[in-house]
């Protein structure tokens, strides 16, 4: 028969695990939304680059293309981190 203290410790541990999983899911969601926002930013930067090129402003266009590239890279990192958190959750649940 389990003591009251052991039951309470067990319940506290289950609660902590549940809270951790919820937090990990929330973090994965935030990272996914961040990736989407970064991709939108990259698309806007690419559009700006095209307009700058059409206006004959090659240096400004190159600057925008570098910004787009950095945004794409950051989006990929955010997406990878979101997937990593979701994978960790799945591994722990099985």
Range picked from 6-10, 13-17, 33-37, 85-89 for highest mean pLDDT: 33-37
Judged on CB neighbours under 10 Å (0-12, 13-18, 19+), 90 is exposed
Nearest residue to 17 via CA among 85, 83, 92, 90:
92
Query: What does each C-alpha distance from 20 to 3, 53, 89, 93 come to in angstroms?
Result: 26, 49, 9, 12
* Predicted TM-score (pTM) of this structure: 0.82
Q: What is the pLDDT of residues 41-72, one digit of tens each?
A: 999 999 999 999 999 999 999 999 999 999 99
């Amino acid at each position: 028969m389990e003591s009251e203290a052991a039951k309470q410790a067990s319940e506290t541990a289950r609660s902590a695990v549940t809270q951790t999983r919820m937090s990990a899911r929330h973090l994965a969601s935030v990272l996914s939304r961040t990736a989407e926002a970064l991709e939108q930013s990259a698309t806007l930067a690419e559009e700006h680059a095209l307009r700058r090129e059409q206006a004959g402003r090659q240096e400004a266009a190159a600057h925008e293309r570098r910004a787009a590239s950095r945004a794409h890279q950051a989006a990929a990192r955010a997406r990878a981190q979101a997937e990593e958190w979701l994978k960790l959750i799945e591994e722990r649940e099985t």
